């Protein structure tokens, strides 16, 4: 499957039961809610997916379930965040054999690689598979920035096609467009900058709060692309307090509580993460309950024509 790198692509959470097993029934329910809302892809194994706590067998159970749910209607993209280049290559090749449609690549973990080392890491993985690839550029959290000069070298690999832009520098969208045009598709990776990024030319949104609010998220994207900006901004303003739950070290716990509120998730996380409690829990629950009390009616958004 070729991937049209655009639209809303949820970085889905991994659902657990109270006894720390995969909750595949709730996982599948959430995927169905995403598909019904009109998302354009599914991303597995990111930070929100608690990938660092999953066994390899669990990861491939999630891939199999996601592929069964999507039935080829939208791409299933799997994150790679391994400790060594050889392990990243092994997992990438196994993901390709499992039938996934694309990869999202983080830079090397636990080692602050140089620019040259980071480029070599990405290119080695890209050369080992035929899958389309999106580079995850998040220097705030992962301490390595993929610069435009580095992308110049990376784009020599035909299957490196997109970037999840999470530098928090909104002007970087324009820099990417000025330098690479349509060769490098840009998807915003920061919920609180998504609408602004799309208005500057980003093709899509790798979203977090979409896990709990898929219809609102897709509606913002579709309305913005159709030029119905006042409607998109109105929903976005309502959404912002919720979106700010994504820019927190406890984003997984926060978003899972929002999923519970909308009936498409569970609150359970895997240690070392712990459930929120006390004042911290009360603060997040208030943000969610306040938003739910004024949840907007959405216009018909799934058949709009982009301008």
- Residue 306 is predicted with a pLDDT of 85
In a domain, 305, yes or no: no
In a domain, 275, yes or no: yes
- Residue 307 is predicted with a pLDDT of 79
The torsion angle over the Cα atoms of residues 52, 266, 29 and 38, rounded to 10 degrees, is -80
In a domain, 2, yes or no: no
In a domain, 300, yes or no: no
CATH number at residue 224: 3.20.20.70
- Residue 111 is predicted with a pLDDT of 85
Q: Spell out where the chain has E strands.
A: 7-10, 42-44, 76-80, 102-105, 133-137, 160-165, 185-188, 204-207
Our CA angle for 182, 184, 189, nearest 5°, is 120
Write out residues in the chain with pLDDT < 70, as ranges.
none
- Residue 105 is predicted with a pLDDT of 97
- Residue 109 is predicted with a pLDDT of 79
- Residue 1 is predicted with a pLDDT of 76
Q: How many domains does the chain have?
A: 1
Query: Which structural domain, as residue segments, surrounds residue 185?
Result: 7-293
Q: How far apart are CA 286 and CA 225, in angstroms?
A: 32
In a domain, 299, yes or no: no
Q: 24 and 238 in contact (C-beta within 8 Å)?
A: no
Give the model confidence (pLDDT) of 211-243 as tens digits. 999 999 999 999 999 999 999 999 999 999 999
Exposure class string for 42-75: b at 16+ Cβ within 10 A, else e:
bbbbbbbbbbebbeeebbbebbebbbebbeeebb
- Residue 174 is predicted with a pLDDT of 98
In a domain, 138, yes or no: yes
């Amino acid at each position: 499957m070729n991937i049209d790198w655009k639209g809303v692509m949820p970085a889905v959470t991994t659902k657990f039961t109270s006894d720390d097993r995969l909750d595949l029934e709730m996982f599948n329910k959430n995927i169905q809610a995403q598909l019904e809302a009109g998302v354009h892809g599914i991303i597995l194994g990111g930070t929100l997916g608690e990938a660092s706590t999953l066994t390899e067998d669990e990861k491939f159970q999630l891939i199999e379930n996601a592929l069964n749910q999507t039935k080829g209607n939208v791409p299933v993209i799997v994150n790679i965040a391994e400790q060594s280049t050889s392990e990243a290559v092994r997992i990438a090749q196994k993901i390709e054999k499992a039938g996934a449609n694309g990869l999202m690549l983080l830079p090397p973990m636990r080692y602050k690689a140089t620019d040259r080392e980071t480029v070599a890491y990405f290119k080695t993985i890209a050369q080992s598979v035929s899958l389309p690839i999106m580079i995850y550029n998040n220097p705030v959290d992962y301490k390595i920035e993929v610069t435009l000069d580095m992308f110049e070298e990376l784009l020599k690999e035909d299957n490196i096609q997109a970037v999840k832009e999470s530098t928090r520098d909104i002007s970087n969208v324009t820099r990417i467009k000025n330098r690479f045009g349509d060769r490098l598709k840009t998807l915003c990776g920061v919920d609180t900058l998504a609408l602004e990024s799309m208005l500057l030319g980003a093709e899509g949104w790798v979203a977090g709060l979409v896990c709990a609010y898929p219809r609102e998220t897709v509606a913002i994207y579709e309305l913005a692309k159709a030029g119905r900006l006042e409607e998109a901004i109105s929903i976005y303003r309502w959404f912002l307090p919720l979106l700010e739950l994504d820019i927190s070290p406890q984003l997984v716990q926060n978003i899972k509580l929002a999923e519970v509120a909308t009936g498409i998730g569970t609150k359970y996380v895997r240690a070392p993460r712990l459930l929120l409690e006390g004042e911290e829990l009360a603060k997040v629950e208030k943000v969610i309950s306040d938003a739910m009390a004024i949840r907007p009616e959405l216009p018909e958004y799934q058949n709009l024509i982009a301008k």
